[in-house]
């Protein structure tokens, strides 16, 4: 249609219908019918990209309600090396080397979010005339979805205007970025390079983590994940790439719950503006899923207050909640692999 234009939900993904763009000038209560027109009872709702946050990031709900920040103390051993504790029992007693401990807080800034909704008697009456649409329920659903989609984006990309204090799983400023191990989509690797990929990823991770732990999650671009259903080698087409990767990760790390998780936010087009400026990057995150390593707090989950009225003609209500970014408390437990 000539007057079509893209509606872009700024905190999230582009809003498109199955046929492409939505013609905004066709939205409204009025449309032409005739005596032979049948209006179907069931409406077709808009679709959005959704992904379960808790599969990627541990989420703590209800801690620190209506506060401005949440501080987590990290403890450190100040003990020196082992050899400093050696003493001689053949000579006079001497001063003993001692150990100590220290703490340092990591701050998670809490953000408060609130949006309103309103409706009036004429608006409800016109919607009822359509005979198959509840405008009040629609607005409540839209408000709820706005919170859910916004929180989803925060979990992966962070708050664009304050990434320092509110990073996402894929945008922590404290996580190391590697650009040499993955130089293109995994699904496009040659058989030889694919066979050595897991070893290269894990050796790089282990070195970054100072060999203290192994990863159990690998978040990768959705577009790359969709190509991993092919055979590991054209000359030996038994087993696909995703199964091989998963089994190799589990075997080497010893983590039976190791998961390779696809996410669209790891794609350049979807993270442009958050990663690598307006160009974005394909980002792969290898990390250990553990609330002591990384966590997102939702001090106040979405709360919908009933609409009130002062004149019985217009009604207004509010939906509100609180959130933090996805904070890495042990940044060395994760590493990013980037390519353009």
Q: Reply yes or no on whether the pLDDT at 209 is more than 80.
A: yes
CA atoms within 13 A on the CB side of 232: 18
Euclidean distance between CA atoms 178 and 335, whole angstroms:
7
Euclidean distance between CA atoms 39 and 42, whole angstroms:
9
- Is residue 33 very low, low, confident or very high in pLDDT (cuts 50, 70, 90)? low
Highest mean pLDDT among 114-128, 184-198, 265-279: 265-279
Residue with the bigger pLDDT between 256 and 26: it is: 256
- Pairing assessment for the beta strands 217-221 and 282-287 based on DSSP bridges: antiparallel
pLDDT at res. 167: 98
In this predicted structure, which of 38-42, 65-69, 334-338 has the lowest mean pLDDT? 38-42
Q: Reply yes or no on whether the pLDDT at 133 is more than 90.
A: no
pLDDT at res. 40: 73
Summarize the confidence of residues 47-54 as an average pLDDT.
93
Euclidean distance between CA atoms 110 and 128, whole angstroms:
40
pLDDT at res. 275: 97
pLDDT at res. 234: 59
pLDDT at res. 23: 56
pLDDT at res. 15: 43
Domains defined along the chain, listed by start: 52-71+108-340 (3.90.1690), 72-107 (no CATH)
Q: Reply yes or no on whether the pLDDT at 206 is more than 90.
A: yes
Euclidean distance between CA atoms 205 and 330, whole angstroms:
13
| Per-residue pLDDT tens digits for 142-164 | 999 999 999 999 999 999 999 99
Q: Dig out the tokens for 118 from the structure.
A: 């309103």
- Is residue 47 very low, low, confident or very high in pLDDT (cuts 50, 70, 90)? confident
What are the Cα distances from residue 257, in Å, to 46, 157, 182, 210, 213? 34, 25, 23, 22, 15
DSSP string, 160-201: GGGTTTSB-TT--TTSEEE-SS--S-GGG--HHHHHHHHHHH
pLDDT at res. 3: 44
Q: Reply yes or no on whether the pLDDT at 130 is more than 70.
A: no
Euclidean distance between CA atoms 243 and 80, whole angstroms:
45
What are the Cα distances from residue 103, in Å, to 72, 177, 255, 297? 10, 27, 30, 21
| Contact present, 163 and 171 (Cβ < 8 Å) | yes
Say what the pTM is: 0.85
Q: Is 150 helix (H, G, I), strand (E, B) or coil?
A: helix
Residue with the bigger pLDDT between 83 and 176: it is: 176
The alpha carbon of residue 118 and the mean position of all alpha carbons in its chain are separated, in whole angstroms, by 30
Strand order in the sheet with 217-221: 176-178, 334-339, 282-287, 217-221, 259-263
pLDDT at res. 307: 93
Q: Mean of the per-residue pLDDT values for the chain?
A: 88
Phi then psi for residue 150, to 5 deg, are -65, -45
């Amino acid at each position: 249609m000539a007057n079509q234009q893209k509606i872009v939900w700024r905190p999230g993904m582009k809003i498109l219908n199955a046929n492409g763009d939505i013609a905004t000038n066709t939205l409204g209560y009025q449309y032409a019918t005739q005596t032979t027109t049948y209006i179907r009872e069931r409406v077709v709702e808009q679709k959005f990209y959704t992904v379960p946050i808790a599969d990627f990031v541990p989420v703590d709900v209800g801690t620190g309600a209506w506060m401005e920040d949440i501080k987590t103390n990290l403890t450190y051993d100040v003990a020196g090396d082992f050899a400093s504790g050696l003493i001689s029992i053949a000579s006079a007693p001497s001063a003993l080397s001692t150990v100590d401990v220290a703490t340092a807080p990591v701050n998670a800034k809490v953000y408060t979010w609130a949006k309103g909704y309103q409706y009036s008697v004429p608006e409800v009456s016109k919607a009822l005339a359509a005979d198959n649409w509840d405008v009040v329920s629609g607005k409540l659903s839209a408000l709820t979805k706005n919170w859910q989609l916004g929180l989803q984006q925060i979990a992966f990309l962070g708050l664009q205007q304050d990434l320092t204090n509110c990073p996402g799983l894929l945008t922590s400023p404290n996580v190391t970025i590697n650009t040499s191990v993955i130089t293109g989509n995994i699904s496009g690797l040659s058989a030889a390079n694919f066979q050595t990929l897991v070893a290269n990823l894990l050796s790089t991770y282990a070195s970054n983590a100072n060999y203290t732990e192994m990863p159990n999650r690998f978040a990768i671009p959705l577009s790359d994940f969709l190509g991993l259903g092919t055979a590991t080698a054209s000359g030996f087409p038994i087993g696909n790439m995703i199964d091989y990767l998963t089994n190799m990760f589990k075997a080497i790390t010893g983590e039976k719950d190791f998961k390779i998780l696809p996410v669209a936010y790891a794609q350049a087009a979807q993270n442009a503006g958050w990663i690598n400026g307006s160009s974005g990057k394909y980002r792969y995150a290898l990390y250990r899923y553990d609330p002591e390593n990384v966590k997102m707090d939702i001090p106040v989950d979405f709360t919908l207050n009933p609409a009130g009225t002062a004149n019985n003609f217009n009604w207004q209500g509010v939906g509100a909640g609180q959130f933090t970014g996805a904070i890495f408390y042990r940044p060395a437990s994760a590493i990013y692999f980037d390519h353009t």
